[in-house]
Structure 1
Amino acid sequence: MKKILIYTVGALLIVGNYGCKKFLNQVPDDRLTFDQMYEKKSTVDQALANVYSTLPDQDQDRSPSAIGNIGPWTAASDEADYTLPNFSENVNSGAWDATSGAVNYHWQRFYQGIQSASSFMANINRCTDCNLGGIDIVNRYYSEARALRAIYYYYLVRQYGPVILLGNDPVASDAPLPEISKPRNSMDECIDYIVSELDAASSRLPATPQASQDYGHITASVADAYKIKALLTAARPLFNGNTDYASLKNQDGKQLISQTADVAKWTKVATAAKAFLTNSRYANYALYNVAATPAGLPDNAFNRAFIATRDVFLNGWNSEIIFGRGGDVTLYQYSLAPNHNGASDGDKGGSFLSPSQQLVDAYFTANGLPIENDPAYTANGTSAYQAPDPNDQDGPRTISNMYVNREPRFYANITYSGRKWINPSSNIITSFEFNGNAGKNAIANNDYTKTGYTSRKHLTVAGWTEGRPIFTMIRLAEIYLDYIEALQESNPSDPDILIYLNKIRVRAGIAPYGSGAGALPVPTDMRDAIRRERRVELAFELDRYFYTREWKIAETTDTQIKGLNITQNAPGFFTPVVTENRVFQKKHYLWPIPNGEIQKVPVIVQNTGW
Structure 2
Amino acid sequence: MKKISLFLLSIFLLATTSCNKYLDVVPDEYVTDDDVFKNINLAEQALARLYNAFPDETGSTITAYTDESYHHWTDNGGALDAYKFNLGTWSTVDNPMGNWSGRYQDIRRANIFIERIESVPIPLDRSEYYQTWAPRYKAEARFLRAMYYFELFKRYGAVPLLTSAASIDLNQAASTNVERNSTDEIVNFIVSECDAIAPSLPQTQEPSQVGRATNGAALALKARTLVYAASPLFNGNQLYKNITNKDGKPLFSQSYDKEKWKRAADAAMDVINLGTYSLYSPFPNNPVQNYAAQFHTRDYTESIFQRIKGNDTGLDGNWLPNGPPFKGNGQFTPLQELVDAYEMSNGYPINEPGSNYQSSGFWSGQLWDGLKWQNVSNISNMYKDRDPRFYASIFFQYDVWRFDATKRGMKFAFWGNGNGRTDGWANGKAGTNPWGYNIRKFLSPEYDRNANTGTAKRNWPVFRLAEMYLIYSEAMNEYLDAPDARVYEYINRVRARVNMPALPILAGDRTKDGMRSRIQNENRIEFAFEAHRFWDVRRWMIGTTVDNKPAHVLNAKPSAAELTATGITDINSEEAGVAVFYKPVVIQNRVFEAKHYLMPIPQSEIDKDPGLVQNYGW
**TM-score over 0.5 for the alignment?**
yes
Query: How far off is 1:496 after superposition?
Result: 1.5
Distance 2:515 2:374 in 1: 41
1:595 maps to 603
Number of equivalent positions: 558
In the alignment, which residue of structure 2 is the partner of 1:145?
141
The answer to whether structure 1 residue 109 and structure 2 residue 91 are counterparts is no
Counterpart selection for 1:370 from 322, 333, 349: 349
1:96 to 2:84 alignment:
no
- State the one-letter code of the partner of 1:245: Y
Q: CA deviation at 1:439?
A: 4.7
| Separation in structure 2 between the aligned mates of residue 390 and residue 337 of structure 1, nearest angstrom | 13
Displacement after TM superposition at 1:318 (Å): 2.7
- The reply on whether 1:59 has 2:58 as its aligned counterpart is yes
How many Å separate the matches in 1 of 2:506 and 2:291?
A: 21
Gaps of 5+ in 2: 1-19, 74-78, 559-576
Residue matched to 1:120: 113
* Pairing 1:183-582 to 2, within 5 Å after superposition: 183-209=179-205, 211-278=206-273, 282-291=274-283, 301=285, 304-327=286-309, 329-340=312-323, 342-343=324-325, 347-373=326-352, 374-389=354-369, 391=371, 393-422=373-402, 425-435=405-415, 437-439=421-423, 442-463=426-447, 466-491=455-480, 492-513=482-503, 523-524=509-510, 525-559=514-548, 560-568=550-558, 569-582=577-590
Match of 1:80 in 2: 69
Match of 1:6 in 2: none
Confirm or deny: 8 A CA contact 1:391 1:424 kept in the other structure. Answer: no
Within 1, Cα distance between the matches of 2:248 and 2:168?
A: 29
Q: How far off its partner does 1:206 sit?
A: 0.9
* Structure 2 Cα separation of the partners of residues 34 and 469 of structure 1: 35
Deviations 1:79-112 (A, max 9, x none): 11111223111111122111116355x1122111
| 1:205 positional shift | 0.9
Contact 2:201-2:214 within 8 A present in 1 as well: yes
Q: Distance in 1 between matches of 2:526 and 2:90?
A: 31
User: How far is 1:180 from its partner?
Assistant: 3.2
Residues 235, 408 of structure 1: alpha-carbon distance in 2 compared, 3 angstrom cutoff:
same
Distance 2:121 2:168 in 1: 21
Deviation at 1:493, TM superposition (A): 4.2
Instruction: Give 1:426 deviation, angstroms.
Output: 2.5
Distance 2:170 2:531 in 1: 37
TM-score (structure 1 length as normaliser): 0.86
Q: CA RMSD in A?
A: 2.4
After superposition, give the CA deviation of every residue in 1:122-154 in whole Å (9 maximum; x if it has no partner): 221214146543761100000000011011000
Write the distance in 1 (CA, Å) between the matches of 2:175 and 2:392: 54
Which one-letter code corresponds to 1:87 in the other structure? D
The structural deviation recorded for 1:360 is: 0.6
- Pairwise CA distance, 1:208: 2.2
Question: Is the alpha carbon distance of 1:101 and 1:406 closer, same or farther for their aligned partners in structure 2, counting shifts above 3 Å?
Answer: closer
> Is the Cα contact below 8 Å between 2:370 and 2:402 reproduced in 1?
no
Measured in 2, the distance between the counterparts of 1:103 and 1:359 equals 22
Moved more, 193-202 or 171-180: 171-180
**Residue type of the partner of 2:234?**
F
Whole-angstrom distance in 1 between the partners of 2:170 and 2:539:
38
**Which residue among 162, 166, 178 is the counterpart of 1:166?**
162
CA contact (8 A) 1:81 1:450 kept: no
- Decide whether the 8 Å contact of 2:162 with 2:168 is kept in 1: no
What is aligned with 1:3?
none
Is the CA contact (8 Å cut-off) linking 2:339 and 2:390 kept in structure 1?
yes
Shift of the 555–587 alpha-carbon distance from structure 1 to 2, 3 Å rule, reads: same
Contact kept in structure 2, 1:339 and 1:348, CA below 8 Å: yes
Compare 175-184 and 85-94 and name the one that shifted more: 175-184
| SS of alignment partner, residue 354 of structure 1 | strand
Q: 1:390 to 1:197 in 2, by over 3 A?
A: closer
Cα distance in 2, alignment partners of residues 423 and 131 from structure 1: 58
Amino acid of the residue matched to residue 280 of structure 2? Y
Give the match's secondary structure for 1:199: helix
Does the 8 Å CA contact 2:287/2:499 hold for their aligned counterparts?
Answer: yes
TM-fit CA distance, 1:602: 1.6
Q: Could you tell me how far apart the structure 2 residues matched to 1:410 and 1:394 are? A: 17
Q: How much identity, in percent, do the aligned residues show?
A: 34
8 Å CA contact retained: 1:385, 1:398? no
| Counterpart residue type for residue 603 of structure 1 | G
Cα distance in 1, alignment partners of residues 283 and 314 from structure 2: 32
Q: Given the superposition, is the C-alpha separation of residues 590 and 174 from structure 1 closer, same or farther in structure 2, using an over 3 Å criterion?
A: closer
Any conservation in 2 of the 1:363–1:406 contact (CA below 8 Å)? Answer: yes
Residue 489 (structure 1) shift: 0.5
Given that 2:187 and 2:226 are in contact with CA atoms closer than 8 Å, whether structure 1 keeps it comes out as yes
- d(CA) in 2 for partners of 1:235, 1:284: 26
Q: Counterpart amino acid of 1:523?
A: D
Cα deviation, residue 284, structure 1? 2.8
Cα distance in 1 between the residues matched to 2:100 and 2:423:
39
Q: SS of the residue aligned with 2:295?
A: coil
Are the counterparts in 2 of residues 338 and 438 from structure 1 also a CA contact under 8 Å? Answer: no
1:562–1:577: 8 Å Cα contact kept in structure 2?
Answer: yes
Corresponding residue number in structure 1 for 2:8: none
Q: Compared with structure 1, are the counterparts of its residues 174 and 605 closer, same or farther at alpha carbon in structure 2 (3 Å cutoff)?
A: closer
Counterpart residue type for residue 294 of structure 2 = V
1:99 and 1:174 map into 2 onto residues whose CA distance is 18
Structure 1 partner of 2:5:
none
SS of the residue 2:24 aligns to: helix
Question: 1:456: Cα distance to partner?
Answer: 0.6
Mapped contact 2:238–2:254 kept (Cα < 8 A) = yes
Deviation by residue 1:132-182 (Cα, 9 ceiling, x = unmatched): 437611000000000110110001010111100012344465998897321
CA distance in 2, matches of 1:438, 1:170: 59
Aligned residues of 2:425 and 2:434 also touching (Cα < 8 A): no
Deviation at 1:221, TM superposition (A): 0.4
Mapped partners of 2:479, 2:154: distance in 1? 22
**SS at 1:384 equivalent:** strand
- Distance (Å, rounded) in 2 between the aligned partners of 1:390 and 1:240: 43
- The Cα shift of 1:213 comes to 2.3
Maintained 8 Å contact 1:417/1:432? yes
Residues in 2 aligned to 1:395 and 1:438: alpha-carbon distance in whole angstroms: 21
Deviations 1:55-74 (A, max 9, x none): 11112514xxxxxxxxxx31
In the alignment, which residue of structure 2 is the partner of 1:24? none
Quick one: which amino acid aligns to residue 366 of structure 1?
A: S
Worse overlay, 423-432 or 233-242: 423-432
In 2, distance between residues paired with 1:501 and 1:49?
36
Go from structure 1 to structure 2 and tell me whether the alpha carbon gap of 1:379 and 1:176 turns closer, same or farther (over 3 Å shift).
Answer: closer
User: What corresponds to 1:15 in structure 2?
Assistant: 24
Contact 1:241–1:261 (8 Å) recurs in 2:
yes
Match of 1:20 in 2: none
